[in-house]
């Protein structure tokens, strides 16, 4: 299976509710799913989202 990735960086002042809303929008409207989330000691977050790459097969 092949995936495409999107990396988001959220600054330390971002609330959990704001981060949740943003990730929900990406999931519902873009088809993204959470692959990895890293919370740094300074409070910032690095989020990696992924979605499947769908290849069309040519038929004759």
Strand ranges inside 1-60, DSSP E? 3-10, 33-39, 45-52
Instruction: Tell me the C-alpha distance between 38 and 40, whole Å.
Output: 6
Q: What is the pLDDT of residues 8-52, one digit of tens each?
A: 999 999 999 999 999 999 999 999 999 999 999 999 999 999 999
Domain limits, the chain: 3-52
Task: Calculate ∠ Cα 27-36-56, nearest 5°.
Answer: 55
pLDDT at 58 > cutoff 90: no
pLDDT at 54 > cutoff 90: no
């Amino acid at each position: 299976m092949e995936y495409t990735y999107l990396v988001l960086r959220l600054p330390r002042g971002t609330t959990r509710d704001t981060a949740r809303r943003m990730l929900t929008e990406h999931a519902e409207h873009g088809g993204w799913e959470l692959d990895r989330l890293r919370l740094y000691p300074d409070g910032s977050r690095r989020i990696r989202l992924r979605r499947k790459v769908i290849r069309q097969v040519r038929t004759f």
